[in-house]
A and B are shown apart, each in its own frame.
Chain A
Amino acid sequence: MKKNAVEDQAVERIVVQAFGELTGRKGKPVRYAMMADTPVGTLGLAAGEAGLCRLEYTKDEDRFLERLLGAFSGPVLRSDALDPALRALERYFEGKHLSFDDVRVDLSSLPEFARKVLRETARIPAGRWLSYSQVAAKAGNARASRAAGNALHHNPVAIIVPCHRVLRSDGSLGGYGGGTSNKEWLLQHEGATLL
């Protein structure tokens, strides 16, 4: 289909207004996209004006959309606007480019310590890992490894904020929201040396 930016804007405006009229959902839209059949299963992505705010493991689109409608009060719509993030993920899974420097992430809805933990986590390069207490220390509180673990467990932007690169001090995997087998797959894909 041939498209252009002016048409895209007009089309989105129509849908946003229809959302307001039909469902009472008003304000800035959250756009989403699906990525099915990745090596770690089906992923759902969502972004607001400030950047990517969700990357979740999910069963299917219905389930993900339901979650987004529960989490956000405005219009939620499937959109091509997330294509750059999808391409970055494709490159990642193909092993061509393992970092996501060009994907803007929005963590502004999180409490400060969680945001710090995730920001430090985002600095861990592919192929490396840190322990929960190391990340807690970098975030400013070495004794808060449990809180750090909690923040990582609730990471809203999986893979791109690489919470899978945080393990137990003894090198064992620890938990993972997307399942430990996926955590292991991601680490091995990135060439990390696991103990």
Chain B
Amino acid sequence: MATKGYGAQFTRDAISRTPFPGVIPIVTNTNRVAELLGAHGIELARHLRRMVRDDDVAQDLLQDTLLRAHRALTRLGPGANERAWLYRIATNAALNYLRDKARERRAMELHARERDADEGGHANTDGAESRLALWQRVADLPERQRVALTLRIADELEYDEIAERMGCTEAAARANVYQATKKLRLGGLP
């Protein structure tokens, strides 16, 4: 798989047969992971899939998100807003993936341009490039704005739905999306 996700290496089987003596295995409570996945899996998978537009990558990122959230929530103890944590971690994971992909694509295009220049032609950029560039700029926003904006544009959620997922007020969700779009426009977007 193209991603550098951590999903596969932390499966239950892998944990139970950790081959390295002296290395403390990562203790994963599979029941707790099952609870998080059962309660939030569908909406998180939809969020990730809409951002990365690839089922395998979305699954990889979902697994990564669940394991990271599980560790974070274990540390935080009861009372933490698990849904907000999951969305934060999922959004960051997807944006990281998209940033790496944009970097990869730019490298490939540079290579193609050099080759085309040798052959006297010129490379063309397509819509995917500008989409990736936009996500990259979303990744540079403050975290709450970043999460709110992706829920708004990728998941097409209403502000009350965004507020529910982020554990904030509707007004705060609206303000975060507004600030985010303002910053992106200031950067020279149409």
A residues near B (Cβ < 8 Å) are 1-3, 7, 10-15, 17-19, 21-25, 32, 61-62, 65-66, 68-69, 75-80
Contacts and interface: CB of A to CB of B under 8 A. Distances in A.
Nearest to A24: B12
Given A1-B157, A14-B49, A69 B59 contact: no
B66 A22 contact: yes
B63 interface: yes
Nearest to B59: A14
Interface of B: 7-8, 10-13, 28, 30-31, 33-35, 37-42, 45-46, 48-49, 55, 58-59, 62-63, 66-67, 155-157, 161
A78 B38 contact: yes
Contact of A76 (B34, B155, B156): B34
Chief secondary structure at chain B's binding surface = helix
A80 B46 CA distance: 13
B45 A14 contact: yes
Contact of B161 (A1, A12, A66): A1
A18 B42 contact: no
A22 to B, nearest CB: 5
7 tightest CB-CB pairs across the interface, nearest first?
A: A15-B41, A14-B45, A23-B30, A23-B34, A76-B38, A14-B59, A11-B45
B62 A15 contact: yes
B12 A23 contact: yes
A69 B155 CA distance: 28
A78 B157 contact: no
A15 B35 contact: no
B110 to A, nearest CB: 33
Nearest to B70: A22
Contact of A77 (B13, B42, B157): B42
Contacts of B58: 14
Contacts of B31: 23, 69
Contacts of A78: 38-42
B30 A65 contact: no
15 contacts: A1-B157, A1-B161, A7-B46, A7-B49, A10-B49, A14-B45, A14-B59, A15-B37, A22-B28, A32-B38, A61-B39, A65-B38, A75-B37, A76-B38, A78-B39
B70 to A, nearest CB: 9
A65 B37 CA distance: 11
B35 A62 contact: yes
A12 B70 CA distance: 21
A17 to B, nearest CB: 6
Nearest to B7: A21
A56 B28 CA distance: 30
A22 B28 CA distance: 9
A45 B156 CA distance: 27
Contacts of B48: 14
A75 B30 contact: no
Contacts of A18: 7, 37, 41, 45, 59, 62-63, 66
Given A18-B63, A19-B37, A24 B30 contact: yes
B176 to A, nearest CB: 18
Contacts of A14: 45, 48-49, 55, 58-59, 62
